[in-house]
Every structure is written in structure tokens, then in C-alpha cells.
């Protein structure tokens, strides 16, 4: 199910994570949220962008799209330890969305720590610490993604993994 290069589950330095799940959108959003929480990410907020746009702008033509905003305490601690201003680049966001003519629900994540690195937001002397931060985030998100891909199939309710 992974759409990353070479179908590798492990994120590389320059790739976003993308996959699809075989379940209704209304089930996929809490499912993806829970998979993050099982990997110790704290949910900051879940926002339905389509509902916000319709409510504020009156556009009802936006396909269902949800943002799952999460933060991992170790990542937050390490980022703030590098430079307190990096907290402004946190937390991480995963988007769950539908597309017309596609019967699958898409899940997409772009790493906030990769953005910190790629945009040069950290002090220049922090490059090794930022590299460690990106690596740690990649390891944590790999666990999330493996679980989403393993348990997000065939409209099955994932087994409890507590």
C-alpha cells in the first residue's frame, strides 16, 4: 500500500509518507489518529478542513479532508533543546482525504522535522542534532506507517494492541 519510492516503508530523507486504507473516511480518521497515539504521539487536534471551508466560505465542493495534528514528547523536547523557536515548526500533521473517482481513503504525512532541516530553521551549528531529530522522527513514523498499512485493510476493525 505504500506509495513511497521502491515501496519501502522506511521514510527516506526527501520523501513524504503516503498510503491508502480500505475503510470509510469516517472510520479512517480516528483509525489513523489512534495509530499515532499507539506510537506515543499526543493528539493536539483533529480538524475537518472540508467542514471548515464550507462553514466559513460556503464552498461545499471540497472533498472530505481531515488534519490530524500530533506531537511526540521526545521530538518536542529535542527540538526545543536545539532551539526554543523550533517549537513554532511543531507539531506534525497527517492528512486523511478522499478523491473523486477513487474508492480508497488517502493518508499523507510530511515531516515537520524534515521541514526544520530543509528550511534551515535551526542554528547552523545544530546540524548534527537536527539530523538526529529527523532520524528519530523517521523511526517513530515508520512504526505508525507500518501499523496503518498492516491494519488499514479490508474494512476490518484493527485488533487491540494495548
Strand partners, 106: 20, 97
Collapsing DSSP to helix, strand or coil, 74 comes out as helix
pTM of the model: 0.84
Query: What's the pLDDT tens digit per position in 123-154?
Result: 999 999 999 999 999 999 999 999 999 999 76
What would the CATH number be for the domain defined by 15-151? 3.30.310.70
Confidence of residue 103 (pLDDT cuts 50, 70, 90): confident
User: Which region, left, alpha or beta, applies to residue 58 given φ > 0 means left and ψ of -120 to 50 means alpha?
Assistant: left
Cβ–Cβ under 8 Å, residues 70 and 96: no
Query: What's the pLDDT tens digit per position in 73-100?
Result: 999 999 999 999 999 999 999 999 999 8
At residue 6, does pLDDT exceed 70? no
Domain positions in the chain are 15-151
Minimal CA–CA distance to 92: which of 31, 134, 123, 48? 134
What whole-number distance in Å separates Cα of residue 24 and Cα of residue 7?
Answer: 24
At residue 156, does pLDDT exceed 90? no
What whole-number distance in Å separates Cα of residue 71 and Cα of residue 143?
Answer: 15
| Nine-digit cell string for 107 | 493518508
Amino acid at each position: 500500500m505504500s506509495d513511497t519510492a521502491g515501496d519501502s516503508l522506511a521514510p527516506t530523507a526527501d520523501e513524504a509518507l503516503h498510503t491508502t486504507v480500505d475503510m470509510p473516511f469516517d472510520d479512517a480518521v480516528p483509525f489513523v489518529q489512534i495509530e499515532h497515539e499507539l506510537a506515543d504521539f499526543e493528539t493536539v487536534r483533529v480538524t475537518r478542513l472540508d467542514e471548515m471551508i464550507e462553514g466559513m466560505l460556503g464552498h461545499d465542493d471540497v472533498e472530505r479532508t481531515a488534519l490530524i495534528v500530533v506531537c511526540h514528547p521526545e521530538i518536542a523536547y529535542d527540538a526545543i533543546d536545539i532551539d526554543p523557536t523550533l517549537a513554532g515548526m511543531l507539531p506534525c500533521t497527517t492528512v486523511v482525504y478522499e478523491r473523486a473517482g477513487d474508492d480508497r481513503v488517502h493518508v499523507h504525512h510530511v515531516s515537520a522535522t524534515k521541514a526544520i532541516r530543509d528550511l534551515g530553521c535551526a542554528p547552523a551549528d545544530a546540524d548534527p542534532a537536527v539530523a538526529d531529530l529527523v532520524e528519530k522522527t523517521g523511526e517513530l513514523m515508520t512504526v505508525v506507517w507500518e501499523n496503518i498499512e498492516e491494519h488499514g485493510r479490508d474494512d476490518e476493525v484493527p485488533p487491540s494492541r494495548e
